[in-house]
Amino acid sequence: MPTLFSRKSNATVIETTEETPVVVETHVRKTTPSKKDLGVVTPKRNSARGPAKPLSRKEAVAAERVERRKKSAAMMADEDWALMPRDKGEEKRLVRKVVDTRRNLGTYFFGTMFAVMAVMLSGNLLLATYGNLLFVVMLVVLAVDSVFLTRKIKRVVSERMPKATPRWGGLYWYGIMRAISFRGMRVPKPKLKVGDSF
């Protein structure tokens, strides 16, 4: 009886007869080798496209402008990541709340100063004298108002953040500078109204 092997085997089939053995070579069906078998790596879609096209100068300027607008909006909204170093910190955020909920007489300082400068440039000696007097009075009012503001800042920060060890001089100066700024020009924008509790 002949011995048969699988068609896919490369082995030689030996058929024996009563007289002499006959050697028969078997043939394996030919298949097309895959790219993997040939060692060819198919590039991914991203690499097939090649490197990203560099932006032109106009596109880069436009992208930078959009990024600046986003950061500016985030800064005005009091988002910590976008704040300038001078505005960062929970103590500074608390000082902003103290200033924004208080009616500060220092807010009228710059307005008064501009009025005095306009009067002095008019050339009228009497008006210039009154302007100088008004400027001195405003300086005194600003000093007194700043004393009350710094006291409130220390009291609120000490009560809300008893473990904090801030530089009080820096906090006082930060609060005063914010207080004498026009409310609409403060950065970040005030989130609370005058008289609101926080």
Question: Does any domain span residue 103?
Answer: yes
SS3 letters across 18-56: CCCCEEECCCCCCCCCCHHHHCCCCCCHHHHHCCCCCCC
Q: Residue 103 pLDDT more than 90?
A: yes
Domain count across the chain? 1
Q: What is the pLDDT of residue 5?
A: 47
Least confident span in 21-25, 60-64, 116-120, 188-192: 21-25
Q: Are 93 and 160 in contact (CB under 8 A)?
A: no
Question: Does any domain span residue 112?
Answer: yes
Q: What is the pLDDT of residue 122?
A: 80
Residue 134's domain comprises 85-185
Helix, strand and coil percent figures for the chain, each rounded to 5 = 55, 5, 40
Mean pLDDT (the chain) is 81
Question: Does any domain span residue 179?
Answer: yes
Q: What is the pLDDT of residue 6?
A: 46
Question: Does any domain span residue 162?
Answer: yes
Nearest to 177 by CA among 84, 115, 81: 84
| CB neighbour list of residue 94: distance below 8 Å, 6 or more residues apart | 156, 157, 160, 161
- Cα-based distances in Å from 119 to 104, 141, 165, 182: 25, 20, 46, 21
Q: Residue 9 pLDDT more than 80?
A: no
Better-predicted residue by pLDDT, 163 or 26: 163
Question: Does any domain span residue 178?
Answer: yes
Question: Does any domain span residue 110?
Answer: yes
One-letter identity of residue 166:
P
Q: Are 77 and 188 in contact (CB under 8 A)?
A: yes
Q: Residue 163 pLDDT more than 80?
A: yes
Question: Does any domain span residue 56?
Answer: no
Q: Residue 11 pLDDT more than 50?
A: no
Q: Residue 42 pLDDT more than 80?
A: no
Token pair in block for residue 95: 């000082």
Question: Does any domain span residue 80?
Answer: no
pLDDT band for position 31 (cuts 50, 70, 90):
low
Is 113 buried (19+), middle (13-18) or exposed (0-12) by CB count in 10 A?
Answer: middle
Q: What is the pLDDT of residue 36?
A: 66
pLDDT band for position 115 (cuts 50, 70, 90):
confident
Q: Are 138 and 112 in contact (CB under 8 A)?
A: yes
Q: Residue 54 pLDDT more than 80?
A: no
